[in-house]
Structure 1
Amino acid sequence: MEFTKIEDNPPLDSVSSLHFTQKPENLLTATSWDNFVRIWSIDKDKAKFIGKQEFSSAPLCSSWSYDSKALFIGGTDNQAYLWNLEKESIESFGEHSQPIKEIFSFPENQNLILTGSWDKTIKFWDLRQGQNPINTTFLEGKVFSMDMRFPYLVVVDSTKGIYAFDLGSGYNCVQRTRSSFKQARVISLFPDLKGYAFGSIDGRVSITYLKEEEKDNNFSFRCHWKENEIFAVNDIAFHPKYGTFATVGSDGLFYFWCKETKSKLKKSIPFENSITRCSFNHDGSIFSFAVGYDWHKGFIGSTAKKERSLCLYLPKEKEIQAK
């Protein structure tokens, strides 16, 4: 398998979030536990470093503005930031009482931002109305993962509660369930908005449809398992064109899957460390993934000098197109 490591100013610690712009510019951003947020311009398997911002503590999440001219950032200092790339400025616009785990900007109104925190709240912000949220939604547990593809928002918290919101009709939760899996790691909406994929520390993924008439299509499967060893599913990314998806895990592997045929399309070579995050670019021609420690073995594992890298892979059609 041919892949390329980003050598131009790569992260020096594990990557906590990884996102392409949804525009043809192919800008890629990574937040890292080295306290930096970095941006690269990607041309196929070539990466050119654009810039970085340092924070007082680790950033955990980021979201591109719809026009790709700004980046919204949250992290362990409890602050939400706007990094204006054109003005080369950064400012805080909101705050939680605990770290911000997820942040998203609305696609058509770039003044509207939502944040999800370990303080058990989701806050909605309007950048035109100062530093007070316009709405606060309370959950039972800490926000562990969120995904938004307007108008839908899905959230999984530390109590294994899964919440679905239709933001087009307000801030009310339209569906609430509880997962039978162990601790959540990631939740990701289908590109067609019919449902979501949910991954956990027990190496499984659940495919769940939102509409009652499609519930018979729900299923779950084991993915990051090796004989009697179980590895966490750290991230899930859907291909924007085909609706197939990638999973990455603590076993140092990434897989491509088709949910319609319930089949595995590709298995990567093993890397010598966990894969923490992944992302497809706007047309699915580039797949980026981050190799680094994810603390699945606690402090003992953190002392090992293993690979930390940010990589690019160009998927072949047969590897990612539904069978």
Structure 2
Amino acid sequence: MYQSNQKSAEQKKVYELPDPPTDSVSALEFAPGTSSWNAIFAGSWDKSVRIWEVQSDKVEPKVMKSLDGVPLDAAWNDSGSKIYLADTNGSVNEWDLESNQLRRVGVHDQGARTCHWVGSYLMTTSWDKTIRFWDPRTSSELAKKYLPERSFAADVLHPVAVVACADQSVLAFSLDGGPVEQARLKSPGLGNHQVRSLAIFQAKQTGQTSWFLAKTNGMVYEQSLTKRSGCVPTRCHRSEVSNGFLDTHVVNEVKINRVTNNMVTVGSDGVFCFWGSGMTGRLMQSQVHDQSITRCSISGDGQIFAYALGYDWSKGFEHFDPNKKPQIFLRPFVN
């Protein structure tokens, strides 16, 4: 699919994006399958936002812009003509790619942590302890709900939205005729481990909905309205060291391939893992990269996997190496 000068057969399938940001990637999103083009977006802690066009034989940088705040999340509209950005200043901006102009469509009192496009409106969650819904056409707030604590992660699979908060609470909302809070649950697992990422899953055979919570203890937990305390967790990014001790790594992101329902996790151990539907089994584990994998994304057709290498500060400032630069790679998704 992509060509490179690497030696192994596996590496020949990997393509590195040109002109990456100068700091670690904070948001990474492919354009949706309904988009008019195949493109990938990356936002960075250097406050830049960039887009590359993904073609059959190459990836071409298209446009770059600088923000006032760090982009923490992004969402494409259905046609791939606009991207909505949530940043550390609390701003929710629309980036019109045809005019290359930014327009504010909403604002939070503190940093806007997540951003999701829901058909004709926008859903954002924030460190100001709210979930809000916006009409980007008029820059008006359609609805606001208060959260018990700061939002750490969220996902939407219509008509369900789920938000994980800093106090270990997980809130499920129905968006039909809503938003209406359906349940307020406790995040599964022992200890005060942060949720770093959340992905809503719908089983193809039964249609039942659950969600997967990626945490800082190297584990991913499945939870649902029927299994509120959670299912048996999956040990993703943990490795045994000497004397029987476990070396645990942060699971920075969990994503679901919406075409196949297979899944992927990435961690601060510099490893990505492909999993079967519902994380029923590990399909593949990558080599250990020389940097953490901070973000990942799956193309709208389910064929391409993107992952970003960079320092995520999980080991503290003393392990930061300024000579290691951020990188973004594309490779086929393993099913």
Equivalent in the alignment of 2:47: 35
Of 121-130 and 176-185, more deviation after overlay is shown by 121-130
1: CA distance, partners of 2:229 / 2:322: 45
Matches within 5 A, 1:126-205: 126-131=135-140, 133-181=141-189, 182-192=193-203, 194-205=209-220
Alignment partner of 1:85 out of 93, 97, 118: 97
> Does structure 2 retain, via aligned residues, the 8 Å contact 1:273–1:307?
no
Count of aligned pairs: 310
Q: State the Cα distance separating 1:309 from its structure 2 match.
A: 0.3
Give 3-state SS (helix, strand or coil) of 1:123's partner. strand
Residues 35-78 of structure 1, C-alpha deviations (whole Å, 9 max, x = no match): 11111111256311110110123111110001111010010121
Looking at structure 2, the residues matched to 184 and 45 of structure 1 have their Cα atoms a distance apart, in angstroms, of 37
- The runs of 5 or more residues in structure 2 that have no matched partner are 1-9, 241-245
Instruction: Name the aligned partner's letter for residue 231 of structure 2.
Output: N
Distance, in Å, in 2 between the alignment partners of 1:80 and 1:154 is 19
CA contact (8 A) 1:140 1:159 kept: yes
What letter is aligned with 1:100?
Answer: A
Please state how far the C-alpha of 1:299 moved relative to its aligned partner: 1.9
**Matching residue of 1:10:** 20
Residue 277 (1) aligns with residue 295 (2): yes
CA distance in 1, matches of 2:61, 2:308: 16
Give the secondary-structure state (helix, strand or coil) at the position aligned to 1:202: coil
Give RMSD over aligned pairs.
Answer: 1.9
Structure-2 separation of matches of 1:42 and 1:248 = 22
Contact 2:186 2:229 in 1 (8 A): no
Q: Is the 8 A contact 2:171 2:181 kept in 1?
A: yes
- The SS at the match of 1:190 is strand
Contact 1:122-1:138 within 8 A present in 2 as well:
yes
Corresponding residue for residue 70 of structure 2: 58
261 and 70 in structure 1: CA distance in 2 versus 1, 3 angstrom threshold: closer
TM-score by length of 2: 0.87
Task: Specify the alignment match of 1:71 in structure 2.
Answer: 83
Residue 218 of structure 1 is matched in structure 2 by 231
The alignment-based identity, stated in percent, is 31
In structure 2, C-alpha distance between the alignment counterparts of 1:172 and 1:67, rounded to whole Å: 28
C-alpha separation between the residues in 2 aligned to 1:297 and 1:44? 38
Change (3 A) 1:50 1:191: farther
Question: In structure 1, what is the Cα distance between the partners aligned to 2:177 and 2:186?
Answer: 23
Q: 1:128 to 1:43 in 2, by over 3 A?
A: closer
Are residues 1:119 and 2:128 paired?
A: yes
CA contact (8 A) 1:191 1:240 kept: no
Whichever residue aligns with residue 249 of structure 1, its letter is G
CA–CA distance in 1 between the matches of 2:182 and 2:271? 35
Pairwise CA distance, 1:169: 3.0
CA positional deviation for 1:114: 1.4
Does the CA-based 8 Å contact 1:44-1:314 persist in structure 2?
A: no
Q: 1:287 matched to which residue of 2?
A: 305
Per-residue CA distance 1:210-265 (angstroms, 9 max, x = gap): 4x2x7799321211001120001000111122211000000000001124572110
1:129 and 1:260 map into 2 onto residues whose CA distance is 39
Residue 286 of structure 1 and its aligned partner are, at CA, apart by 0.5
The one-letter amino acid of 1:187's match is: L
- The letter for the 1-side match of 2:29 is H
CA shift, 1:303, in A, is 4.3
Q: Which amino acid aligns with 1:21?
A: A
Q: 1:304 to 1:51 in 2, by over 3 A?
A: closer
Amino acid corresponding to residue 110 of structure 2 in structure 1: Q
C-alpha separation between the residues in 2 aligned to 1:220 and 1:282?
A: 28
CA contact (8 A) 1:45 1:312 kept: no
Whole-Å Cα distance in 1 between the matches of residues 279 and 112 of structure 2? Answer: 36
Deviation at 1:118, TM superposition (A): 0.7
Unaligned runs of 5+ in 1: none
1:101 counterpart = 2:109: no
| Match of residue 281 from structure 2 | 263
CA distance in 1, matches of 2:57, 2:289: 19
Whether the 8 Å CA contact 2:162–2:172 is kept in 1: the answer is yes
- Aligned AA for 2:283? L
